[in-house]
């Protein structure tokens, strides 16, 4: 019984570690993607501004 309990605890710890690693990977991906997303947003805004300018002419 005690052994089973210890095994369960170990399993839980491993799962937690795995989750933490996954979270860190996700955060890293977000940090890598963030500048790209910002650049795309800026480009989109510029395009919209250009369109408005063209419509005004």
Q: How far is CA 3 from the centre of its chain?
A: 38
Residue 42 half-sphere exposure toward CB, CA atoms < 13 A: 6
Q: How far apart are CA 23 and CA 26, in angstroms?
A: 5
Query: For residue 44, what pLDDT is reported?
Result: 98
What single string gives the DSSP state of each residue in 6-43? HHHHHHHHHHHHHHHHHHHHHHHHHHHHHHHHHHHHHH
Query: For residue 10, what pLDDT is reported?
Result: 97
Query: For residue 46, what pLDDT is reported?
Result: 98
pLDDT at 57 over 90: no
pTM of the model: 0.56
Q: How far apart are CA 9 and CA 3, in angstroms?
A: 10
Query: For residue 53, what pLDDT is reported?
Result: 93
* Domain spans in the chain, listed from the N-terminal domain onward: 1-57
Q: Residues 2-53: pLDDT tens digits?
A: 899 999 999 999 999 999 999 999 999 999 999 999 999 999 999 999 999 9
């Amino acid at each position: 019984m005690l052994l089973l309990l210890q095994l369960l605890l170990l399993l839980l710890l491993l799962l937690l570690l795995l989750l933490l690693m996954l979270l860190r990977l996700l955060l890293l991906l977000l940090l890598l993607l963030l500048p790209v997303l910002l650049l795309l947003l800026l480009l989109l805004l510029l395009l919209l501004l250009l369109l408005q300018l063209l419509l005004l002419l």
